[in-house]
Chains A and B, each alone.
Chain A
Amino acid sequence: MRIVIDMQGAQTESRFRGIGRYTMSFAQAIVRNRGTHEVLLALNGLFPDTIEPIRAAFHGVLPQENIRVWRAAVSVSNDASQRRVVELIREAFLVSLQPDVIHVASLFEGYLDDAVTSIGSFDRNIPVSVTLYDLIPLLNPDQYLKGKQIYGEFYKQKIEHLSRASLVLAISDYSRQEGLSHLNITEEQVVTVSTAIDGHFRPLEPSSVDDGTLKAKLGIKGPFVLYTGGSDERKNLSRLVQAFGRLKTTLRQTHQLVLVGTIGKREVDALSALARVSGLSADQVLFTGYVSDDDMVCLYNLCETFVFPSWHEGFGLPALEAMACGAVVIGANTTSLPEVIGSEDALFDPFDISAIAANLERALEDEGFRAAMRAHGLIQTKKFSWDRTAQLAIRAFERLPKSQQSHFTDPDDLLEPLIRTISESIGPSAKDIELRKIAYALDRSILKKAPKQFFVDISELVVRDARTGVQRVGRSILQQLLLSPPSGYVVEPVYATTDQPGYRYARRYSQGLKPTVVGAEDEVVSMRPGDIFLGLDLQHHTTRAQAKFLSDARQDGVLVFFVVYDLLPIHFPDYWPKKHGLDQVHRDWLYTICHFDGVICISRAVANELEVWLRENSPPRSRKLTIQWFHLGADVDNSIPSTGLPVEAEEFLNVLASKPSFLSVGSIEPRKGHEQTLSAFELLWQTGQDINLVLVGKQGWMVEPLVEKIRTHAEFGVRLFWLEGISDEYLKRIYTTSTCLIAASEGEGFGLPLIEAAQHDLPIIARDIPVFREVAEEHAFYFTAKQPTELADGIQDWLLLHARGLSPKSGAMRRLTWEQSARALIEICVP
């Protein structure tokens, strides 16, 4: 059975009240007790800030793709026509999930906000179940509906919708009876599932109750009688205050009446005036306002007696909370409270002030009664548990007749009747933009059946291709993902720009990589729950421009990951031109991507650096960011290698082979250590070492003096060589012919040249930095050099070791193929 729970009760302002807590706890208990049933949660996209906290609350207990968001694209709070359209969209969305039952945890939502909770506006086949808390406004119209025409209409409509429910889950036997008496439903249609309280309502050790501080903060001076809840008429606070005034003097003078909760100024003034008339001094009745849950637990534990005089409740949760904390609890003998409190002795007539006072005196003075009530309360609370509530609800769902939904086997089948019904609901003067909004909402809400997609962001490759190492990685990984997609997913290369929201399928680009890719149009992507987005390419500004789009996709249940290549611009800001402000750009980009599901670094060293950076810079999050790492592949043949040798290649390779040749691979940039390396070689040449230094890499930035020095060097073209923009084929030959790789960079994300050297059994001299240690382990000769002389000494030491055959061998270094690298990436991303 597939159970869909409408969670709007946990999204509106109700989320700050009991109904919000009920909705969350009920849904969590249903998920815990679902057994073989499938549970989906339906969220309203018009409350975007509430989606992530709800996702976080179900993290690890329910697949994120089971949390579905419907989109309305328009506010509905003040427009009946728009509300009607959104009702249709929501109901069609729920039908598209193909549920066996839909449960609406809070039907009476949407009076002043964008919640929409209709029943039977579009579909009347699928059984709808509703939680019934109470019918207080219906049964007390003078207090709740009189003079409130708009609210009255709203309430009446909700009652009509409620009457269309197939099943009503009452939170108490009393509310069940109310439903039977006042709604057009049968005995079989209404089931008491009760309610429960969370585990943190419990007796505390005296040492852990924050007595003095909390009391002082709230103005409580000594023993006190406690009430918490609302202040509307049925709560009966005026009789409570008067009853407190009738307590015998010794009790009245030694106790305070503490009223906890948000009570309006007008009510406070009225109750204060009543207290004065009842002979109470100003501080004998205390209004604390709202207190936190933790403080509430302390107050329940500290109070002499908890009193709940309300004459109409659907359940009366505060009474149960107080009993669970070991408080002496007394309350009204009306509506649901007798079944909650469960002891005749603790009940009084809420309309009789003397009876309230008498019961209160007994609860404060009679030690035998107090002990009995405390013991009784702890036993009574055990009758209520969320698991029991969920089990009763699921049993009731199971008994529902099977829905007749066979004519909607494909969600797309819903569109035609839905469009027809919507066009009946909107006038001929509907603006074009309104139709577009509706179309957008339908496309996002009624999802067509399709395989899951694994999006690979290759924006830089498609739009510009800077041809850096990042793009080389991107091409290699993408090719492997296209060849061997993750099981159950279709790999879709995508790209975006900074000037238009959303990503596009990179179909035209992909055709070059994989001719079987069909459809040459770069259409706007449709992201669906369960899809995965991998930010493989590095385009700072594009990612930031698309952050909102990706955030919406994540709200919809798309997992969003980014690959982080390094934190170099942050750690070495002086090595990049100041005018570009790359350190700040990189920082902003990192901050942006750390809002999503996970970051995958290209080495453990980078992951460690990121974790350190996040200690100071992490954005606020509901769910923990996963930081993982993988290693890059190094099989050049599988990275779409470039080919071609220059005419002078063989002659040059002979020069390299004629004497020890040291190879440095990487673009000429300040952090790469070329300057120090060249100075060290100058020292070695001066001491008579006949060795070559070969630099392979393009000219980068801020190296003009160095480049000038190289080009005008006396050894340039003799024992000093610089090859720019050579093919992978040529590089491979140079690796084979050289004697040793020098990796002098001060900072790297990975260190691909080390792996490439190892593939050719080329020995390695590497600077002692964490990422080189991680990649090369014991297979390289390490140096720490602040000055060229130290590096020159290191090279000489290595030459001596090498001559004796004792230099570290690189051939056994661990390395991955691009296929293995892509597989590791998939294992991290795919749940």
Chain B
Amino acid sequence: MNRPTLRNALGLVIRSFPWLNQTLFSFAVRAGIVGSKSVSPKGDLHAHWEGLLVDSAMTPRALQIYKDLSASLDKRHK
């Protein structure tokens, strides 16, 4: 089975059995089937992005958008 086909097959399994997500993804990264830079099925950020989401690392505009989004969500679900 070539790499793209295997990758598609894995994707299908991941969609069908969500509980397998992270385990399969980790396996796929270790096996070199998907690149280590790929975004995991859990929706994790690339490792280096993690640090970009704390207040001190966000641009003032991104922080404002985050606050506006939080406020909009609060308003909607109050």
Contacts and interface: CB of A to CB of B under 8 A. Distances in A.
A113 B73 CA distance: 28
B59 A523 contact: yes
B66 A423 contact: no
A75 B40 contact: yes
B43 A74 contact: yes
A422 B77 CA distance: 13
Given A112-B11, A419-B72, A428-B73, A436 B41 contact: no
B61 A443 contact: yes
B71 to A, nearest CB: 9
B61 A78 contact: no
A423 B65 contact: no
Interface string A712-741: 000000000000000000000000000000
Interface in A480-535: 500-502, 523-526
B29 interface: no
A380 B23 CA distance: 53
Interface in B40-76: 40-46, 48-49, 51-53, 56-63, 65-66, 68-70, 72-73, 75-76
Interface in A520-574: 523-526, 548-549
B53 to A, nearest CB: 4
Nearest to A13: B4
Nearest to B38: A75
A262 B59 contact: no
A48 B77 CA distance: 35
Interface in A399-431: 415-416, 419-420, 422-424, 426-428, 430
A73 B45 CA distance: 6
Contacts of A501: 48-49, 51-52, 57
Nearest to B5: A262
A210 to B, nearest CB: 24
B70 A435 contact: yes
Interface in A62-120: 73-75, 77-79, 82, 112-114
B32 interface: no
Contacts of A433: 53
Contact of A415 (B11, B59, B60, B65): B65
A181 B48 CA distance: 50
Given A78-B14, A436-B53, A548 B69 contact: no
Contacts of A290: 2
Contact of A439 (B35, B51, B65): B65
A150 interface: yes
Contact of B39 (A75, A419, A432): A75
A426 B73 contact: yes
Contacts of A16: 4
Given A419-B68, A419-B69, A423-B73, A79 B43 contact: yes
Contacts of B75: 423
B31 interface: no
A46 B40 CA distance: 11
A48 B60 CA distance: 25
A77 B8 contact: no
B42 to A, nearest CB: 8
B62 A262 contact: no
Contacts of B44: 75
Contact of A419 (B42, B49, B65): B65
A438 interface: yes
A548 B43 contact: no
A16 B2 CA distance: 12
B7 interface: yes
A430 B73 contact: yes
Most buried by B among A75, A442, A500, A549: A75
A187 interface: no
A437 interface: yes
Nearest to B45: A73
B41 A77 contact: yes
A49 interface: yes
Contacts of A526: 59, 61
B15 interface: yes
B49 A73 contact: yes
A437 B45 CA distance: 8
A440 interface: yes
Given A440-B58, A526-B59, A549-B48, A424 B76 contact: yes
Given A112-B8, A112-B15, A523-B59, A78 B48 contact: no
Nearest to B76: A423
A226 B8 CA distance: 28
A161 interface: no
B38 to A, nearest CB: 8
A427 to B, nearest CB: 8
Contact of A77 (B5, B15, B51, B62): B15
Most buried by A among B21, B35, B41, B70: B70
Nearest to A447: B61
Interface string B1-19: 0101101100110111010
B35 A49 contact: yes
B77 A428 contact: yes
A72 to B, nearest CB: 8
B15 A420 contact: no
A235 B64 CA distance: 55
A78 B51 contact: no
B43 A82 contact: yes
A786 to B, nearest CB: 50
Contacts of B69: 419, 422-423, 435, 438-439
Contacts of A440: 49, 52-53, 58, 62
A262 B2 CA distance: 9
A526 B59 CA distance: 7
Contact of B7 (A13, A73, A114, A150): A13
Contact of A437 (B11, B16, B53): B53
Contacts of B52: 440, 501-502
B15 A114 contact: no
A448 interface: yes
15 contacts: A77-B11, A112-B15, A416-B68, A419-B69, A419-B72, A423-B75, A427-B77, A428-B77, A439-B58, A440-B53, A440-B58, A500-B51, A501-B52, A502-B57, A524-B57
Given A78-B41, A423-B75, 6 more contacts: A436-B58, A437-B53, A438-B69, A443-B58, A524-B57, A525-B59
The 6 A-B residue pairs with the shortest CB-CB distance in the complex, in nearest-first order: A112-B11, A439-B66, A443-B62, A428-B77, A75-B39, A423-B72
